[in-house]
Amino acid sequence: MTGQSFLPYGRQDISEDDIAAVSAVLRGDFLTTGPMVDAFEAALANRVGAAHAVVCANGTAALHLALAALQLEADGRNCAIVPSITFVATANMARAVGLEVVFADTDPDTALITTDTLAVALERAKQAGLTPRVVLPVHFAGQSPDMDALAALAATEGCVIIDDAAHAIGTISAGGYPVGGSPYAVMTCFSFHPVKTIAMGEGGAVTTQDPALAEALRRLRGHGLTRDPSCFENTEDAFTDGAANPWYYEMPEIGFNYRATDFQCALGLSQMKRLDAFIARRTALIAEYDERLKTLSQHITLLPQQPAQTPAWHLAVALIDFAAAGISRAAVMAILRSHGVGSQVHYIPVHRQPYYARRWPDLTLPGADRYYQRCLSLPLYPTLTAEDMNRVCLALTTALRGQP
């Protein structure tokens, strides 16, 4: 690896315009909530076709806010359906608002929840005496599940949908609408971590078509406080001579400090202007991976593309039959690293995590497990060059041959 830079599996692409946008905020009057927050929210809502966007501290906060805004009773019976192939935050935030989590299996090749796996999870929930209230489909690696079919099935059980679209800013679903402007999801959650398609350092957002939910999201984002006189309950403290006191606020419910800063939103707004270019470059890289992996080894393929949608790829996931190749995933990753190539596993099935395994000790999800056995995320980001791609593929070839 002498003289060569390390190639991580993902990284941000920060331009001079991005730096200038952040610098301008740092030289201005607002560091935390200010005009860039409103500007970023407006740009995001416009991009995805949503009536409202509420920016927040990170993608996990977005999930927490969305689930809290539903105000579902934590009675020990209400539950959320979560696909097992996701980051732990999707399940954890359902637990954070007091919901039980029932895991759905996923397609072994795409890692996406399906109507069949959702149906099984809904039945498992009912057999456990639970009431399904919300389904959280994950738009994995930039691809969407069949949202039309999932929404129809969820509706028959009285469930609403909250999209976990942390991987899918810019994806156009099979229904022809941008993820985040769905006619089916009551809310959609995004992440703007540095490895995502656009970066805010840390950052997240929730989009919705519902003005009441948008108001709840904003209130919960800021400790649950309101300054709206029409909402005040303690009129003796709130008003003087019929006018609202200028200092006054109330907390009708407990919220969180999940606000985003003005300089985060300045970066996000600048990055949003480059979203189409980022997507185009990632799409070209995925196409190149697809062609090259076909000739690299019979034991490796790329995550297959779903029909009738236009994914904004977040991950380049290779599916490798490690047993047939005669080498472990750990050994492949070690050899890649020795050649300066990073890789990652997205994800360990969440139902196998000790916390959840104790709650569902006999649960087996063969599709999620089969996907997990084979997945390996390769470098994917806009600044990856042709030379970098050559290095990745050469290192992968070497690794699958068991060579150092």
Angle made by CA atoms 212, 218, 220, in degrees to the nearest 5: 100
The predicted model gives 102-117 an average pLDDT of: 98
Task: Judge whether residue 2 has pLDDT over 60.
Answer: no
Indicate if 275-400 has the same CATH topology as 16-272: no
* 336 close to 6: Cβ distance less than 8 angstroms: no
Query: Under 8 Å CB-to-CB from 23, ≥6 apart: which residues?
Result: none
pLDDT 10s digits, 254-300: 999 999 999 999 999 999 999 999 999 999 999 999 999 988 889 99
Task: Judge whether residue 157 has pLDDT over 60.
Answer: yes
Helix H or strand E segment including 376: strand 375-378
* 225 close to 254: Cβ distance less than 8 angstroms: no
DSSP, collapsed to helix, strand or coil, labels residue 75 as: coil
Query: Under 8 Å CB-to-CB from 275, ≥6 apart: which residues?
Result: 47, 169, 170, 197, 198, 312
The CATH class of 16-272 is alpha beta
Percent of the chain with pLDDT over 90: 94
Sorted by where each begins, the domain ranges of the chain are 16-272, 275-400
pLDDT 10s digits, 360-389: 999 999 999 999 999 999 999 999 999 999
pLDDT 10s digits, 205-232: 999 999 999 999 999 999 999 999 999 9
* 350 close to 91: Cβ distance less than 8 angstroms: yes
Distance CA 249, CA 227 (A): 5
* 61 close to 293: Cβ distance less than 8 angstroms: no
Helix H or strand E segment including 240: strand 239-240
- Check residue 298 and report its DSSP letter: T
- Check residue 226 and report its DSSP letter: B
Helix H or strand E segment including 224: none
Percent of the chain with pLDDT over 70: 99
Task: Judge whether residue 404 has pLDDT over 80.
Answer: no
Active site residue 273: no
Helix H or strand E segment including 306: none
Strands 185-191 and 204-208: antiparallel
Rg (CA), the chain: 22
Residue 172: what are its φ and ψ, rounded to 5°? -105, 120
Task: Judge whether residue 1 has pLDDT over 80.
Answer: no
Q: What is the DSSP string of 108-140?
A: TTT----HHHHHHHHHHHHHTT-EEEEE--B-G
Task: Judge whether residue 329 has pLDDT over 70.
Answer: yes
Set 126, 196, 273, 294: catalytic member: 196
Higher pLDDT, 317 or 400: 317
pLDDT attached to residue 3: 65
* 139 close to 312: Cβ distance less than 8 angstroms: no
pLDDT attached to residue 401: 86
Q: Show the tokens assigned to 35.
A: 């005009």
Mean pLDDT check: name the lowest of 163-177, 325-339, 389-403: 389-403
- CATH fold of 275-400, please? Aspartate Aminotransferase, domain 1 (3.90.1150)
Distance CA 175, CA 354 (A): 37
Alpha helices, H only, 297-385: 322-325, 329-338, 354-359, 366-374
Mean pLDDT of the chain: 96
The predicted model gives 32-42 an average pLDDT of: 95
